[in-house]
Amino acid sequence: MGISWILLIAALLFLLQHALFSRWGFRGLTLKRTFNQAHCHAGDRIEMIETIQNRKLTPLPWLRLESTIHAGLHFAKMSNLAVSSGAIFQNHRSLFSLMPYTRIVRRHQVICAKRGWYKLETVSATIGDLAGMQAATMSQRLDLELLVYPRLVSRDDIPLLSSRWQGDITVKRWIMPDPFLVSGVREYRYGDTMNSIHWKATARSQRLQVYNREFTADPRLFIIVNTQITQTMWDAVSDPELVEKGLSYAATLAEYAISQGVPVGFGYNGSLVGQPGTPVHVSPAGGHPHLAYLFETMAKLAISCTRSCSDFLDESILQEGSVLDIILLTAFVSDALEDSIQRLEALGHNVFIVPLQHGLLNLHEKEMSPSDVNADSGESTASQ
């Protein structure tokens, strides 16, 4: 047999095996990716679990999986894992070799560096033949989601909490409603107890009504994050990190307040991802399910500005019927915003400002003397 016949047979065998892998290489192959938890806070470490199974007699000499993942998720380096990063997205590639009827489970360590709503929608799989040549490629849908909540910080790091909002004032203001002071009825809200239902009013209105009890101090908290960095800024946020800081403060305050039994609401003059132009308003409620909803809402926020903070304050507070404690997290206070704050205080609301950058004075702290603070809290307050 001449050398030409040997080469011809080799070429035919190469083409035959290449055709077999191209046509049937993906048969019996299953790919699956999951996270070991559906949500976490920024800075947490989680696992992405890859499961690849070859359920056929034919081996796979090599299999390469590629996907595009947001750069906010950082992968730990592994021997057969390559990650090339860009400004927003990164390419995640891993390489495998599968024997017949084999299953491989790999766990990738992932650091959730940034808050966000991450979606892993597809993964591209490429297989090679016995000669090492690429044989076939397919794309598989994953529909995998991960919610990364804002980073929780120490309450001591929040400027407001080192001042007049903590300690005795918090205890005095966040007191239970007085059962002997009733001022009419109102519609049932999530968190109201069964013994507060006004059955006669419910029967008359055909809607669940409860006693509207007066409070010896107002227990409802509304946290607002202002995405405007300067008075002239609009739409595109000039300093996203300041807004992220505000969301971290808001998440920390909400967790603390709800743990103390205080109903908490949330406002944001930006919008949710995929819902441009619509500010976010979540009415105050209590309980861990509501806290989870607040965290989920914060994870899905886009860094944007859809309305001035002064207009948002005026409109959002009108949606709430009773007096609120309002915490405003903002990088600046304009004359229009100060006017809105004064109107809210004239209506009985209490407004506290948390500065998001150095140089912004809390207007209420500025106006209060140390004796006023001591009179409210019953304690001496040292300057910080």
Domain ranges of the chain: 27-149, 155-175+217-377, 182-216
- Pick the range with the lowest mean pLDDT from 181-195, 291-305, 368-382: 368-382
**Residue showing tokens 């595009």:** 68
Residue 366 is given by DSSP the state: H
Confidence band, pLDDT 50/70/90 cuts, at residue 80: low
Inter-CA distances, 23 with 53, 136, 138, Å = 18, 8, 12
Tens digits of residue pLDDT in 254-301: 999 999 888 999 999 999 998 888 899 999 999 999 999 999 999 999
Question: What mean pLDDT comes out for the span 193-197?
Answer: 75
What is the reported pLDDT for 2? Answer: 73
Instruction: Looking at the structure, give the CATH architecture of the domain made up of residues 155-175+217-377.
Output: 3-Layer(aba) Sandwich (3.40)
Q: Regarding predicted confidence, which is higher, 180 or 23? A: 23
What is the reported pLDDT for 178? Answer: 46
Other residues' Cβ atoms within 10 Å of the Cβ of residue 27: 10
What is the reported pLDDT for 242? Answer: 92
Question: What mean pLDDT comes out for the span 337-355?
Answer: 88
Is 27-149 a domain of CATH 2.60.40.1510?
yes
Q: Is the pLDDT at 379 greater than 90, yes or no?
A: no
Question: What mean pLDDT comes out for the span 165-194?
Answer: 54
Share of the chain above pLDDT 70, in %: 79
Tens digits of residue pLDDT in 135-176: 889 988 888 999 999 999 998 888 864 444 444 334 434 444
What is the reported pLDDT for 365? Answer: 44
**Residue showing tokens 């800075």:** 43
Q: Is the pLDDT at 334 greater than 70, yes or no?
A: yes
Mean pLDDT of the chain: 80
Confidence band, pLDDT 50/70/90 cuts, at residue 368: very low
Q: Regarding predicted confidence, which is higher, 249 or 7? A: 249
Nearest Cα to Cα of residue 144 among 64, 46, 289 = 46
Tens digits of residue pLDDT in 293-314: 999 999 999 998 888 888 898 8
The reported pTM is 0.74
What is the reported pLDDT for 295? Answer: 97
Asked if 125 contacts 65 with a C-beta cutoff of 8 angstroms, the reply is yes
* Separation CA 225–CA 152 (nearest Å): 15
Share of the chain above pLDDT 90, in %: 32
Tens digits of residue pLDDT in 11-48: 888 888 888 888 888 999 999 999 999 999 999 999 99
Other residues' Cβ atoms within 10 Å of the Cβ of residue 235: 11
Q: Regarding predicted confidence, which is higher, 254 or 230? A: 254
What is the reported pLDDT for 367? Answer: 41
Residues facing 293 on adjacent strands? none
